[in-house]
A and B are shown apart, each in its own frame.
Chain A
Amino acid sequence: MAKFIVKRIGYMLVTLFIVVTATFFLMHSIPGDPLAHMARNLPEQTRENYYEKYGLDKSTSEQYLIFMKNLVTKGDLGESLRYPGREVTDTLLTNASVSAQPGGLALLAGIAIGILLGIVAALNKNRWPDYIVMFIAILGITVPVFVLASVLQYFLSVKLMVLPTTGWGSWQNVVLPVIVLSFGTIATYARYVKSNMLDVMGQDYILTAEAKGVSKLNVVKKHVLKNAFLPCMTLLVGQVSGIFTGSFVVEKIFGIPGLGFYYINSINDRDYTMIIGTTVFAAALFVFVQLVVDIAYSIMDPRIRVK
């Protein structure tokens, strides 16, 4: 077990190193001057000061070493090019905590409802509850979020005026984003849990349990659910890290000042340090969650470790 964890952490570090390095050099290979927008009309001396402040007077490899040193020793990702004085790391943490509120609620709601619907569908295979659940699941997968968001805004905010359209600060602002965000999660989990349960129900050990005379409730509770839930954990990786990075589209539509919203902004602003910082942050989160899920998975399912 310890060997497995150490190996996994090793992979994680290698992956992160590659991502950080690749992002850094890719961003620095873009032709053009990252400070062009503000330094163009400044006097020679002021401009030079600016370049010095951001270390842009040094060669790319020197800049890379400084960047890596700051990142590893202090967790420092530099300063925003567009808004001088704003630390990238601070901005990231603030924005991520905003994204996490609707994101976390939506994930919890989505998983709970999705799993429930999946169980109902699997136990009623080819009967009307199954058809209803699968209809919802297909809607959730095929309707783009921006359409769902617009439609909900139109009916609940404009026509019925029960919830605010956009904004941030009160609990009413969270309701619509949570519904929109959880819809896709519900659909994914309902489908996944259903097919996993049907898979497990066809296994020999279920037949054995039934042959021994175990009640249907106990078969489902003790054998089917336990085994069907395990593979669902792999789905969590993208979703848990997605809580913090937020949904680009949903945050834009509802005006939530989260990480996704600012990421799109920093791309439109060509704010290079922010782009690198957000990319590194998102990748680190993703890889870290993957590590946690991998370890948790191998504790719960010993078959994985053997492979």
Chain B
Amino acid sequence: MQILTVIIINSILAVSLNLISGYTGQLSLGHATFMGLGAYAATLFTLKLQTPFLVSIVLGAVVAAFFGFVIGVPTLRLRGDYLAIATLGFGEITKNVLLNLKITGGPMGLRGIPKVTNVYVAAAALIFVIFSLGRIINSRVGKSFIAIREDELAAEAMGINTTRFKILAFIIGAFYAGLAGGLYAFLFRYINPKDFGFMRSIEILCMVVLGGMGNTYGAVLGATIITILPEFLRSVSPAIAQYRMVLYGLLLVIMMIVKPRGIIGESSLSNKKPKKLLEKGGA
């Protein structure tokens, strides 16, 4: 049951990064940072202020979303590689701050977190995330995200305020990642800055790329595979399990060559019947 819960939490992470990278087309290498901020904030609310579990994880997500805004405003004027490097830097800064603050327990991390997350709570969260994300993607806001990915200049020329929507994608993605972080903390009962480092960000990115950029179910599939893979390898041979990062790398290289759009690939926006859309009129 534990592994299923982990799969669900990872799915939330992958789905949330997919909004930023898959739908909006902004490469972020610091997604685990938002997860970490959510985890730390939720834990601290519970440990210091004794807020109830649900309130804590929602507040954790809000804190992560706030930092999504803070990091988004200066960096989202950057494009492509520059943005990726900026998010990388932000992740390192956050990790070092968490390592050195007293309230976060420094390198010792925070322990004694009550175990509240179970498979039902996590599943409910995932359903909420997928449902709300679906609503966003099919709305005007979602169309704007996709237009930015397709052609930022054209999107701007059509009157879409691209900077504002990129920041919005970051905020929403960070909110969901923070939610996942809270669930993570209340599952493992112990958090440490290293849990939310660069490697974790890369792992989340692997899930998205593997499953399919721009496809929510692809992200869930990618998260499932990447979560089960090390467990599966461990059951085959513990020696191979040590090399799982090598395998991720290899998997990505192979995916890029064989199926660059991911296992499921991008969900076509054109599945809807055009007749019906025509009757409805606009976007």
Q: Do these two chains interact?
A: no
Chain B positions near chain A (C-beta within 8 angstroms): none
